[in-house]
């Protein structure tokens, strides 16, 4: 069973529809027992870092997510759901992230000719050992919508990057924890392939 964590951060339905298309029957939940009993967990999200962390705390989900990581239940954070896995964000000074992974979320610098937010299709440069990208062609295109991007502390966990005035850490993997800054559920066949890889991964 796949648990989609519901913390009022939007984007739930599009992820649910993509999983339905793949033949999965995800459970949209904020219940501890359902999350910890799942085979896979997805943490989607759009909006602000501060609001997301407030909601996760209010629903008692921060410790549940950390417990799931300790149990090594595969977890995929999407967009804002990936960002909150890290320590902090320039979007919400003073607000602590989950701190499951080391790094920070920073705002795109103003660059002539580039609009913020970074919105639309962009190509990825993928690491050969990126488990989410197995079986994909080189430099696949995926869909982004974000004004802040990840700077991971450990480059070894970065499995895909994209260029938009700066180098974006677009996907990370560490043990049973995965993250995508882009939206696989909005990235056509490529995104479905990425979700399928996450669903079918066995172990670490």
Q: In this model, does residue 204 exceed pLDDT 70?
A: no
Neighbours of 103 (CB within 10 A): 21
The answer to whether residues 137 and 92 touch, using CB atoms and an 8 Å cutoff, is: no
- State how far the Cα of 87 lies from the Cα of 103, in Å rounded to an integer: 6
The answer to whether residues 140 and 160 touch, using CB atoms and an 8 Å cutoff, is: no
Q: In this model, does residue 96 exceed pLDDT 80?
A: yes
Mean pLDDT of all residues belonging to the chain: 96
Q: How far is CA 128 from the centre of its chain?
A: 19
Average pLDDT on 76-91 reads 98
Q: In this model, does residue 203 exceed pLDDT 70?
A: no
Laid out side by side, the sheet with 27-29 consists of 27-29, 2-5, 40-43, 75-78, 177-180, 167-174, 158-163, 125-126
Average pLDDT on 7-23 reads 92
The answer to whether residues 8 and 29 touch, using CB atoms and an 8 Å cutoff, is: no
Kindly report, residue by residue over 133-176, the tens digit of the pLDDT: 999 999 999 999 999 999 999 999 999 999 999 999 999 999 99
Kindly report, residue by residue over 34-61, the tens digit of the pLDDT: 999 999 999 999 999 999 999 999 999 9
Domain that holds residue 194: 2-200
Q: What sign for the dihedral angle of Cα 98, 102, 106, 111?
A: negative
Retrieve residue 36's tokens. Answer: 């910890």
Whichever domain contains 56, its CATH number is: 3.40.50.880
Position 127 confidence tier, pLDDT thresholds 50, 70, 90 = very high
Q: In this model, does residue 10 exceed pLDDT 80?
A: no
Number of structural domains the chain divides into: 1
DSSP state of 186: G
The pLDDT assigned to 171 comes to 98
Query: Active-site residue numbers?
Result: 79, 183, 185
The pLDDT assigned to 201 comes to 75
Q: In this model, does residue 32 exceed pLDDT 60?
A: yes
The pLDDT assigned to 67 comes to 98
- Residue in the structure block whose two tokens are 């990057």: 161
Angle of CA points 77, 173, 154, to nearest 5°: 115
- Rounded to whole angstroms, the maximal C-alpha distance in the chain is 49
The pLDDT assigned to 155 comes to 96
CB-count exposure of residue 192 (10 Å: 0-12, 13-18, 19+): middle
Q: How far is CA 27 from the centre of its chain?
A: 18
Among 53, 56, 54, 55, residue whose Cα is nearest residue 64: 56
The pLDDT assigned to 202 comes to 56
């Amino acid at each position: 069973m796949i648990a989609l964590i519901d913390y009022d951060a939007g984007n739930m339905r599009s992820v649910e529809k993509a999983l339905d298309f793949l033949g999965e029957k995800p459970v949209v939940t904020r219940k501890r027992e359902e999350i910890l009993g799942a085979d896979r967990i997805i943490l989607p999200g759009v909006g602000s870092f501060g609001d997301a962390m407030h909601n996760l705390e209010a629903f008692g989900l921060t410790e549940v997510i950390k417990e799931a990581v300790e149990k090594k239940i595969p977890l995929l954070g999407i967009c804002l759901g990936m960002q909150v896995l890290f320590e902090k964000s320039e979007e919400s000074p003073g607000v602590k992230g989950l701190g499951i992974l080391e790094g920070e979320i920073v705002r795109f610098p103003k660059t002539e000719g580039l609009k913020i937010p970074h919105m639309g299709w962009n190509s990825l440069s993928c690491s050969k050992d990126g488990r989410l990208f197995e079986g994909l062609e080189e430099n696949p295109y995926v869909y982004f919508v974000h004004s802040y991007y990840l700077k991971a502390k450990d480059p070894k966990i970065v499995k895909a990057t994209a260029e938009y005035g700066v180098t974006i850490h677009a996907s990370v993997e560490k043990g049973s924890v995965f993250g995508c800054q882009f939206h696989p559920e909005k990235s056509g066949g490529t995104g479905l392939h990425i979700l399928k890889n996450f669903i079918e991964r066995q172990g670490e």
